[in-house]
């Protein structure tokens, strides 16, 4: 009897042990959330585009609007950031699908095709799609005018399409919708080019029209001043990051919270001001002259700017010098300023310049004066924004810039944000405002334009230098590895996004 009970208890024990083991296996085999996987890995992998807005390697390392946001998000998650740039948008889609990246952060719109396949994060700025042409050429004011003259233009172009777009569903769908309503409408998709390639073709006259986002057009005008807006094809569309679609809400929830906090703190506005805050100001004649000077004058003076720029980007120093003197070392003004950096006599003496018309002394002294201005800017101002306050001080005087900061605070703005302060600078011309300030009247509007001009020149020099580097095949890619996707995967991805429209738009119609 005892033996019978002993065997029975052994049997129960074995069943209990098996149940516990099975339960443990089930617990261990329960899949981790996407957020847990990222934290366990210790790395957030972000797919992006290598361009002048989202991500690029600058003089101080990695830079770009999406890069800086991604870096902040990775810090929020407590992990390292790994940027994975691509040269084509279509390369990013299979990388996200296959789990090679966790997020796409590349300034992409919430197009119907992307919304169908991926989950968008919150919108962080807006763009419209624009038809772009070359200044001096025929400009259609609307779609009706374009359609009326299309056949004539195609005939003049030896029967070739006059509109080319990149191979991206964002633009494909827009033009496919137009074609559905207007069957005679004709365009061609170029899967081997990026937006910059096609904008350059328009600028050189090789192509009549292309389509680009409004922000891309504004930024590219600093390099190709001949491109211009013909008319808008769409209303403003939201830009966001994208994640895989799944039942897992963990990463998505963190992303929503992150963008909410970033907007509320003003950090998002600060980053947008840094990268695109200057794009609305564009002077065609001035930009044309500046682009010519990039080839005719900059090569002579760039060694000097590089030699004395020290902690500043030499291209910024070059932009400042162009704003001051148009790179004329013997420039003079009726108000008594002289030389490449247009120093006043007292300023020159304060920085050790004995001959203001000596370009080497002028650049060295101008940089030293700029450094002193930066050092005076309060530490409450973000490091990357201090330079704009310093440049405004270089132009109108430190005291007046501080007056504008106090006025900004009094009006409920942020005195540490250049985007807020620059809007108050012009008020220093008006008596009802400058009578309340410590230093009184100032031509604040000129100081604002002065800084914005330098920012435009700076952007143009960056684009010009990068373009020359690429053309000379001297681009240093050691700091990043571009996403490489097999052609078969690209074909599958493009097919998934274009569906029935791609077969129509992939040919000359």
Burial 342-363 (b: 16+ CB within 10 A, else e): bbeeebbeebebeebebbebbb
Q: Is there a catalytic annotation at residue 498? A: no
What is the mean pLDDT of the segment spanning 93-112? 92
| Burial (CB count within 10 angstroms: exposed 0-12, middle 13-18, buried 19+), residue 145 | middle
For residue 378, how far is the Cα from the chain centroid? 27
3-state secondary structure of 189: strand
3-state secondary structure of 412: coil
With tokens 């002289």, the residue in question is 338
Instruction: Using alpha carbons, select from 115, 110, 74 the residue that is nearest to residue 258.
Output: 74
What is the mean pLDDT of the segment spanning 60-76? 90
C-beta atoms surrounding 154 within 10 Å: 17
Distances (CA, A) of 388 to 44, 66, 286: 32, 21, 21
User: Which CATH number among 3.30.2290.10, 3.40.50.510, 3.40.50.800, 3.40.190.10 corresponds to the domain 34-123+239-277?
Assistant: 3.40.190.10
**Which structure tokens are listed for 406?**
């106090």
Dump pLDDT digits (tens) for 405-414: 999 999 999 9
State the DSSP H helix or E strand holding residue 340, giving kind and residue range, or none if neither.
none
3-state secondary structure of 4: helix
The whole-angstrom separation of Cα 28 and Cα 455 is 55
Percent of the chain with pLDDT over 90: 49
Dump pLDDT digits (tens) for 452-476: 889 989 988 887 777 666 555 444 4
Contact 471, 412 (CB under 8 A): no
**Strands 80-86, 43-49: parallel, antiparallel or unpaired by DSSP?**
parallel
Contact 107, 66 (CB under 8 A): yes
First to last CA, the chain: 93
List of residues 6+ apart from 506 with CB closer than 8 A: 189, 191, 498
Dump pLDDT digits (tens) for 213-238: 988 888 888 778 889 999 999 888 89
* Architecture of domain 129-234 in this structure: 3-Layer(aba) Sandwich (3.40)
User: Annotated catalytic residue: which of 324, 452, 498, 502?
Assistant: 324
DSSP secondary structure of 223-280: T-TTEEEEEESS--EEEEEEEE-SS--HHHHHHHHHHHHHHHHTHHHHHHHHHHTTTT
Residue 495, pLDDT score: 46
What is the mean pLDDT of the segment spanning 467-496? 49
Dump pLDDT digits (tens) for 126-168: 888 999 999 999 999 999 999 999 999 999 998 888 999 987 7
Going from N- to C-terminal start, the domains of the chain cover 34-123+239-277, 129-234, 284-456
Phi, psi of 19, rounded to the nearest 5 degrees = -65, -45
The radius of gyration of the chain from alpha carbons, rounded to an integer in Å, stands at 28
Residue 440, sorted as left (phi over 0), alpha (psi -120 to 50) or beta, turns out to be left
* Architecture of domain 284-456 in this structure: Orthogonal Bundle (1.10)
The residue among 306 and 395 whose pLDDT is bigger is 306
Burial 378-402 (b: 16+ CB within 10 A, else e): eeebbeebbbbbbbbbbbbebebbb
What is the mean pLDDT of the segment spanning 172-176? 89
Instruction: Using alpha carbons, select from 392, 394, 388, 427 the residue that is nearest to residue 408.
Output: 427
On the question of a common fold for 34-123+239-277 and 129-234, the answer reads: yes
C-beta atoms surrounding 452 within 10 Å: 18
The number of CA neighbours under 13 Å toward the Cβ of 208 is 22
Using the predicted structure, report yes or no on whether residue 313 has a pLDDT greater than 50. Answer: yes
Average pLDDT, the chain: 83
Using the predicted structure, report yes or no on whether residue 509 has a pLDDT greater than 60. Answer: no
Confidence label for 446 from pLDDT (cuts 50, 70 and 90): confident
DSSP secondary structure of 379-392: TTS-HHHHHHHHHH
The whole-angstrom separation of Cα 214 and Cα 158 is 30
């Amino acid at each position: 009897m005892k033996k019978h009970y002993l065997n029975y208890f052994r049997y129960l024990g074995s069943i209990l042990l098996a149940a516990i083991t099975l339960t443990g296996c089930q617990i261990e085999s329960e899949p981790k959330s996407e957020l847990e996987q990222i934290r366990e890995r210790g790395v957030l992998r972000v797919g992006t585009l290598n361009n002048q807005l989202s991500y690029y390697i600058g003089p101080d390392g990695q830079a770009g609007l999406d890069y800086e946001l991604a870096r902040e998000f990775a810090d929020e998650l407590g992990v390292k950031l790994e940027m994975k740039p691509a040269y084509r948008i279509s390369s990013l889609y299979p990388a996200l699908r296959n789990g090679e990246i966790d997020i796409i952060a590349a300034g992409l719109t919430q197009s119907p095709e992307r919304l169908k396949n991926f989950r968008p994060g919150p919108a962080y700025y807006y763009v419209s799609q624009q038809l772009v042409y070359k200044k001096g050429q025929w400009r259609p004011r609307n779609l009706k005018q374009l359609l009326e003259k299309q056949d004539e233009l195609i005939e003049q172009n030896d029967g070739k399409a006059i509109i080319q777009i990149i191979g991206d569903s964002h633009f494909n769908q827009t033009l496919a919708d137009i074609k559905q309503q207007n069957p005679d409408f004709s365009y061609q998709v170029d899967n081997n080019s990026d937006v910059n390639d096609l904008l350059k073709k328009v600028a050189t006259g090789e192509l009549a029209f292309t389509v680009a986002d409004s922000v891309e057009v504004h930024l590219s005008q600093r390099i190709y001043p001949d491109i211009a807006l013909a008319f808008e094809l769409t209303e403003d569309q939201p830009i966001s990051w994208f994640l895989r679609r799944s039942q897992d809400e963990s990463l998505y929830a963190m992303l929503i919270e992150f963008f909410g906090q970033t907007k509320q703190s003003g950090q998002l506005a600060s980053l947008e001001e840094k990268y695109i805050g200057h794009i609305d100001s564009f002077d065609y004649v001035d930009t044309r002259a500046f682009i010519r000077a990039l080839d005719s004058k900059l090569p002579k003076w760039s060694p000097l700017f590089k030699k004395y720029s020290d902690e500043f980007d030499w291209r910024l120093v070059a932009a400042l010098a162009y704003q001051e003197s148009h790179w004329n070392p013997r420039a003079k003004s009726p108000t008594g300023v002289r030389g490449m950096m247009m120093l006043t006599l007292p300023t020159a003496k304060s920085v050790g310049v004995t001959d203001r018309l000596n370009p080497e002394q002028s650049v060295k002294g101008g940089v030293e004066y700029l450094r002193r201005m930066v050092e005076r800017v309060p530490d409450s101002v973000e490091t990357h924004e201090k330079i704009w306050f310093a440049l405004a001080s270089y132009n109108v005087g430190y005291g007046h810039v501080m007056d504008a900061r106090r006025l900004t605070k009094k009006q409920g703005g942020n005195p540490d944000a250049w985007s807020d302060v620059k809007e108050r600078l012009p008020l220093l011309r008006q008596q009802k405002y400058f009578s309340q300030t410590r230093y009184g009247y100032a031509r604040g509007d000129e100081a604002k334009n002065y800084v914005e001009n330098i920012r435009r020149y700076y952007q143009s020099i960056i684009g010009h230098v990068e373009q020359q580097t690429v053309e000379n095949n001297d681009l240093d890619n050691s700091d990043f590895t571009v996403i490489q996707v097999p052609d078969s995967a690209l074909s599958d991805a493009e097919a998934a996004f274009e569906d029935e429209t791609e077969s129509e738009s992939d040919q000359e119609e």
